[in-house]
Amino acid sequence: MEDKLHEECGIFGIYSTVERDVASDAYYGLFALQHRGQVSCGIAVNSDGLIHCHKDAGLINDVFTPEVMTGFENGRIAIGHVRYGFSPFNPKLEAQPVTVNHIKGCTALVNNGALTNAAELREELELKGSIFHTFSDAEIIAQIITRERLTAGSIEQAISRAMGKLRGSFSLVVMSATKMIAARDPFGFHPVCLGQLGDSFVFASETAALDSIGATFLRDVKPGEILTINRDGIITSDTGNATSGKTALCAFEFIYFARPDSVVDGCSVSLARQRAGALVARRNPVSADVVIGIPDSGLDAAVGYAQESGIPYGIGLIKNKYIGRTFIQPAEDERKTLVRIKLNAVASVIKGKRVVMVDDSIVRGTTITRTVKILREAGAAEVHFRSSAPRFLFPCYYGTDIDSADKLIANRLSHDEILKHFGVDSLGYLDPAEIGEIAPEVTLGLCDACFTGNYPADIKTNTKKPVYMTRLSEREK
């Protein structure tokens, strides 16, 4: 695995007042969210009350070929999803949207997040006769909403009842025959925003997706809120599942997950990263000749570090944007080669210089060593590493792929051991106490559990695999 966090997915939805090519809107919206998930993707279109869904493993332009896109009929509602996901199973099987056809009609659902009580909910549903086809939280949520819809007066009421049973993080866009509905968990772990495109309304994980189709940002979906779009316009409702006002937006949305051109809950992501870099410079000064960022998410933080420290900013590493991600390559030797192809040093910026190298975070520590080696071979006299995030010490249970502290290098090695492991001359981090200072415009609290261990919501305590996820040999132990 590369030394990066991976978020579970990005979600998108559009409601049009007239039938048109809403599939194309979803296609372009998902393109803007591709960074949030590169394992699988899907689009579901509501055409006159019938839902047509196409999903598969792969990137947007691989899955949605011109032939596939022409297969979608015009419609009034479409939802879409890009998924990272860390299930060991078939990525095509786990792709979203999840579609359900039942006595009350058809629905489709996309989700961003991770339920901390998923195992308990699944077991409860299975004992009542539910049959699952995937291992995703989205299918669990869809099953609960469907069951609640049998007795609820509306799909909104069914979603509200379902939310009362869910623990952890979730951001949903649900499509019924006549409505598009967004819902966000009461803590607000992951963002969902609302935009307008003419007479149409759009939901998306980030404002960059609104920009990509020319939509205007209206507002964010509030934690614990359900927003419904139908023929009457926008209807908002409180789910009654409040958390006593406590909110916990994931700090990594600003540090790494979101695009720098997005605005998350009122704060520019690019500006937040520059502030983080400036704070790191203030607390971790060093004598150096040039500040460089590791593309792409370390660039804004490097600019902030340079501005605060007075050390000139330079473009010292070039990223090949056309190569696949290093972590999906099967062999270690291939990953090492691909790191070389993916990143290359600009020797004229690096040679003979004392270099401050800034990146968004240190997670597993698997690629930084090789990046430092590239700088050394380019002639760097010194390499000083700075992280625009605090030390990552605790696992995350709310939607990233770090579910064990054993994967975190800051948990396995001491400060001096990490220095030696990376081959750097010094090492500095953002102070956990300064997390709130990077995004002062945000009115929500920020979740810093991966840095402090202060989990805002229930966490997993039972890590035993269910029987359907274990081999026979494992069950015998």
Residues recognised as catalytic: 9
* CA–CA separation, 188 and 459 (whole Å): 16
* CA–CA separation, 197 and 241 (whole Å): 31
DSSP collapsed to 3 states, the chain: CCCCCCECEEEEEEEEEEEECHHHHHHHHHHCCHHHCCCEEEEEEEECCEEEEEEEECCHHHHCCHHHHHCCCCEEEEEEEEECCCCCCCCCCCCCCEEEEECCEEEEEEEEEEECCHHHHHHHHHHCCCCCCCCCHHHHHHHHHHHHHCCCCCHHHHHHHHHCCCCEEEEEEEECCCCEEEEECCCCCCCCEEEEECCEEEEECCHHHHHHCCCEEEEECCCCEEEEEECCEEEEEECCCCCCCCCCEECHHHHHHCCCCCEECCEEHHHHHHHHHHHHHHHCCCCCCEEEECCCCCHHHHHHHHHHHCCCECCCEEECCCCCCHHHCCCHHHHHHHHHHHEEECHHHHCCCEEEEEECCCCCCCCHHHHHHHHHHCCCCEEEEEECCCCCCCCCCCCECCCCHHHCHHHHCCHHHHHHHHCCCEEECCCHHHHHHHCCCCCCCEECHHHHCCCCCCCCCCCCCCHHHCCHHHHCC
Strand 98-102's sheet: what is its strand order? 98-102, 105-115, 168-175, 180-184, 225-230, 233-238
List, in sequence order, every residue forming a beta bridge with 230; answer none if it has no partner. Answer: 233
The sign one gets for the Cα dihedral 283, 288, 289, 294 is negative
